[in-house]
Amino acid sequence: MAAVTAAQNPICIDAHLCSMNLDSLVEPLSSHPPLGGNLPEERAHATPAESGDAGLLDAYSRAVTAAVERVSPSVVNVEVHQTQRPTGGRTRSGEPRSGEPRERRGGGSGFVFTPDGLILTNSHVVHDATRIEVTLADGRHAPAHTIGDDPATDLAVIRIDASALQAVPLGDSQQLRPGQMAIAIGNPYGFQFTVTAGVISALGRSLRSYSGRLIEDVIQTDAALNPGNSGGPLVDSRGQVIGVNTATILPAQGICFAIGINTAKFVASRLLRDGRIRRSYIGVSAQTVPIHRRVVRFYGLGWETGVVVVDIEDRSPARTAGLREGDVIVALDETPVAGVDDLHRLLTDAQVGARCALTVIRHTEKLVLPIFPEEAR
């Protein structure tokens, strides 16, 4: 590019400039009409459309700043210390690695949602933490302890002992619409209390948590999120929290995700009550597979996939019920099961210890097995 630019420009700049007759270009200012004298009237003044755009931009700025001023005092920086056990092996010099545990540090964001110091954040931020320290918006530092965390929804509740805390107002994620303003506040890469704004790109997304379960009703937004934003609030134009920022697709731009605040309310209430989310399990390893069309038509199934049992735990509800490897689960209590995520969704705390009817296809035979799910450990 540099060679092309040089070839298109004069080789000798001084000679090029000197070839101009500068004296012939100079005229007295008095020979020119006053500036703006012959300009069209619409150019001298802003058009109604330009005034309207400026007003919209100004209204947008006021909405963002007002929401940030309302929520920022409740946003916190969460610093986590974890003890990392050595995995063995040898150093580069060939010597055995030391058996002493090492401390690993990480961090994220969170927000105060009750005046007595309860903070909502992501499970992957505080999971297995040996020490948690919270930095408030006013610069105060306070140690925190975990009330409970749920890897299946990537949510956690921690608590600090501090005074004069401002709780953030919580909104309703069921009332959201695509295109609505979304504001993210957090601490990306340690830059505390960073604000980014965008819109809600889509609703009803599903996101795989690091525990393997599917998180439902996830909000997609183009408000920029980066490492360190995890656990921070996603806010609407009224300054109400509508989601908990949780993930981004790193190769992409403008594709970020937040867990709906309605899900967060439910999980937080259960964590406060029980310290965990109770779910049931039947004790199988399984995967989603297609069902032969002849079997689907013969039994009148409304779906063409099911859950094949790959392995069964000893002394598990599945073993007691007589389930076998190779069986394909197609329903639980007459509710269709088209995949592993459907089975996860149906195995809630309501099924713990309750008699359930598990419908399976064994070879080409349809069976209904009574099963008593137990609480997941």
Task: For residue 363, indicate whether it is catalytic.
Answer: no
**Distance in angstroms (rounded) separating the CA atoms of residues 304 and 285:** 20
Task: For residue 81, indicate whether it is catalytic.
Answer: no
Q: Give the Å distances, CA to CA, from 64 to 70, 190, 231.
A: 10, 22, 20
Burial status of residue 36 (CB atoms within 10 A of its CB: 0-12, 13-18, 19 or more)? exposed
For residue 25, the tally of other CB atoms under 10 A from its CB is 7
Interstrand relation of 328-332 and 335-336 (parallel, antiparallel or unpaired): antiparallel
Burial status of residue 308 (CB atoms within 10 A of its CB: 0-12, 13-18, 19 or more)? buried
Q: Which two three-digit tokens encode residue 185?
A: 């506040």
Catalytic residue selected from 149, 150, 154, 222: 154
DSSP alpha helix (H) spans, the chain? 2-8, 13-18, 22-25, 41-44, 48-71, 123-126, 261-274, 293-299, 317-321, 340-346
Q: How far is CA 155 from the centre of its chain?
A: 10
**Distance in angstroms (rounded) separating the CA atoms of residues 377 and 368:** 26
Task: For residue 124, indicate whether it is catalytic.
Answer: yes
Catalytic residue selected from 74, 123, 209, 230: 230
Catalytic residue selected from 72, 74, 109, 124: 124
To which residue do tokens 């008593």 refer?
Answer: 372
**Distance in angstroms (rounded) separating the CA atoms of residues 194 and 185:** 6
List residues with catalytic annotation.
124, 154, 230
